[in-house]
């Protein structure tokens, strides 16, 4: 679970300079089909949770290429990119590497990954929008979505019942009406909606729901768009939530949200789907039997639709220095294709494509995250996006808005100016 958070924020810490390298223009391994060895880097999630799926992919490829030796290396999320930076500067790059979806862009911009032909991968026509965006740069595809994790609303059934509420809200008007009742009932020291002000993943969901965006692409250039009327509308809705329902520190980010929620000082969080369950772990649960008192639902949005969510997840890429690109592509398809997705879903993940996502909506255990994942957004695939994240421009803008230091309009204008300085810079 922790890996999803790290994947979502990891781009800020990437040492992209070491990833720069030249390379081949051959799609998904026109070269390397006769290689004798294949080196695959995955995170420890695969090693711990679904090693049988890795073996199944290995067996499928070895059956087609007798004698092929497949080497696996597993890394924790905090260590992987430092190791990758080091080997990409040598001639010993892996042939397949797992990347958090927000980690892809800086490496792709620097030319670290080979272009792939999506037609050679199962279900590529139905890849989830946000995951497809994470592997797309300048209209070309540089990776394959692996699996996903969405965001949902999680609230306390017992606290809602104390205010006479017996069902989860289906519209934004119902949501705010319910929260108003809860806030009035619980008092000013209680956050009806614990929404960390600097949580830009949540704030941008309001922006995209209102038709705005962080930046817009015009040809091969990007321009910041937070001060557009649509984005201002979304930011204003976000400010309304923080002003009305967030009774905690207005300078905090979302890092300790499960811990705070576990302390029982809030009714609702809008967060990665696993955070509610994390709050209910014995070490975080200060409420007592919190797991029995929480319920998740698809977050309704002011537009009347489901709230578009930032879709975290993993991709698999082929380093441009790989000498076995063709076999690497075959292995990725064996691992992430139709059979592989069935195995990943059985392990509790969301699949990489809409066809496999559809039946999950009918299963009570997966219906909420599966439905929420259908509407998603992703960061601008601009060459300088990594610098925007590293500078924490969005977080600082949101804090200025939430604390009242700046008006929404002034904060958005300042953020646009800061973004425009770097977003087109490689």
31 membership: H or E segment, kind and range: none
- Among 18-27, 41-50, 254-263, 406-415, the range scoring the smallest mean pLDDT is 18-27
Segment 241-284, tens digit of pLDDT: 999 999 999 999 988 899 999 999 999 999 987 788 789 989 99
The answer to whether 321 and 93 have CB atoms below 8 angstroms apart is yes
Residue 298 has pLDDT above 90, yes or no: yes
Judgement on whether residues 350 and 222 belong to the same structural domain of the protein: no
Judgement on whether residues 176 and 80 belong to the same structural domain of the protein: no
Judgement on whether residues 215 and 262 belong to the same structural domain of the protein: yes
Q: Is residue 8 part of a domain?
A: no
Judgement on whether residues 216 and 112 belong to the same structural domain of the protein: no
Q: Taking CA 217 as the corner, what is the angle to CA 134 and CA 215, rounded to the nearest 5 degrees?
A: 80
Beta bridge partners of 297: 153
Judgement on whether residues 251 and 390 belong to the same structural domain of the protein: yes
Residue 347 has pLDDT above 90, yes or no: no
Place of tokens 């979505």: 145
pLDDT-above-90 percentage for the chain:
64
pLDDT mean over 387-404 = 94
Distance CA 177, CA 233 (A): 20
Judgement on whether residues 354 and 324 belong to the same structural domain of the protein: yes
Judgement on whether residues 99 and 161 belong to the same structural domain of the protein: no
Give residue 348's pLDDT band: very low, low, confident or very high (50, 70, 90): low
Segment 106-123, tens digit of pLDDT: 899 889 999 999 999 999
The answer to whether 299 and 306 have CB atoms below 8 angstroms apart is yes
Q: Which two tokens stand for residue 362?
A: 């009918």
Based on C-alpha coordinates, what's the Rg of the chain?
22
Q: Is residue 12 part of a domain?
A: no
Q: Which two tokens stand for residue 367?
A: 């219906």
Q: Is residue 13 part of a domain?
A: no
CA proximity to 426, closest of 81, 23, 108? 108
Q: Is residue 28 part of a domain?
A: no
* Number of structural domains in the chain: 2
Q: Is 276 helix (H, G, I), strand (E, B) or coil?
A: helix
Distance CA 50, CA 41 (A): 14
pLDDT mean over 321-332 = 95
Distance CA 345, CA 77 (A): 21
Which residue range is the domain that position 107 belongs to? 37-150+312-377
Residue 294 has pLDDT above 50, yes or no: yes
Judgement on whether residues 135 and 252 belong to the same structural domain of the protein: no
pLDDT of residue 399: 98
Judgement on whether residues 131 and 74 belong to the same structural domain of the protein: yes
Buried/exposed code over 35-55 (b: 16+ C-beta within 10 A; e: otherwise): beebbbbbbebbeeebeebbe
Judgement on whether residues 243 and 365 belong to the same structural domain of the protein: no
Q: What is the CATH number of the domain that holds 245?
A: 3.40.190.10
Place of tokens 């994390």: 278
Distance CA 31, CA 38 (A): 13
Distance CA 322, CA 55 (A): 21
Residue 210 has pLDDT above 60, yes or no: yes
pLDDT mean over 412-423 = 97
Judgement on whether residues 110 and 204 belong to the same structural domain of the protein: no
pLDDT of residue 125: 95
Judgement on whether residues 199 and 293 belong to the same structural domain of the protein: yes
DSSP output for 349-381: PBPSBHHHHGGGGGSTTTHHHHHHTTSEE----
What distance, in Å, lies between the first and last C-alpha atoms of the chain? 32
Q: Is 185 helix (H, G, I), strand (E, B) or coil?
A: helix
């Amino acid at each position: 679970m922790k890996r999803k958070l790290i994947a979502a924020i990891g781009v800020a810490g990437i040492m992209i300079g070491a990833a720069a390298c030249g390379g081949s223009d051959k799609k998904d391994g026109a070269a390397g089909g006769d290689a004798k060895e294949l080196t695959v880097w995955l995170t420890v999630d695969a090693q711990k949770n679904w090693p049988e799926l890795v073996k199944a992919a290995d067996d499928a490829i070895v059956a087609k290429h007798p004698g092929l030796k497949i080497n696996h290396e597993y890394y924790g999320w905090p260590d992987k990119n430092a190791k990758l930076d080091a080997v990409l500067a040598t001639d010993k790059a892996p042939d397949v590497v797992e990347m958090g979806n927000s980690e892809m862009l800086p490496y792709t911009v620097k030319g670290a990954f080979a272009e792939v032909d999506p037609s050679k991968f199962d279900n590529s026509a139905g890849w989830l929008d946000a995951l497809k965006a994470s592997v797309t740069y300048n209209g070309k595809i540089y990776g394959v979505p692996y699996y996903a994790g969405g965001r949902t609303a999680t609230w306390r059934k017992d606290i809602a019942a104390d205010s006479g509420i017996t069902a989860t809200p289906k519209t934004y008007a119902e949501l705010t009406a319910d929260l108003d009742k809860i806030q009035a009932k619980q008092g000013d020291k209680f956050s009806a909606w614990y929404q960390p002000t600097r949580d830009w993943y949540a704030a941008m969901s309001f922006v995209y729901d209102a038709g705005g965006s962080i930046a817009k692409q015009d040809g091969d250039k990007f321009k910041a768009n937070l001060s557009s009327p649509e984005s201002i509308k979304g930011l204003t809705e976000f400010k309304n939530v923080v002003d009305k329902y967030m009774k905690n520190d207005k300078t905090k980010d979302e890092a300790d949200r499960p811990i705070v929620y576990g302390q029982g000082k809030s009714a609702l969080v809008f967060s990665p789907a696993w955070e509610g369950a994390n709050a209910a772990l014995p070490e975080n649960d200060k409420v007592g039997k919190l797991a029995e008192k929480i319920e998740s639902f698809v977050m309704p949005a002011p537009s009347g639709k489901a709230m578009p969510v930032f879709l975290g997840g993993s991709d698999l890429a082929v380093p441009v220095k790989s000498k076995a690109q063709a076999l690497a592509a075959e292995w990725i398809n064996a691992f992430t294709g139709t059979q592989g997705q069935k195995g990943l879903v059985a392990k509790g993940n969301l699949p990489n494509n809409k066809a496999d996502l559809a039946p999950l909506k009918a299963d009570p255990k997966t219906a909420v995250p599966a439905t929420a994942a259908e509407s998603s957004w992703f960061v601008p695939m601009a060459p300088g996006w990594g610098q925007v994240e590293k500078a924490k421009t969005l977080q600082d803008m949101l804090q200025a808005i939430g604390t009242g230091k700046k008006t929404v309009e002034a904060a958005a204008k300042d953020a646009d100016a800061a973004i425009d300085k770097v977003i087109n810079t490689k």
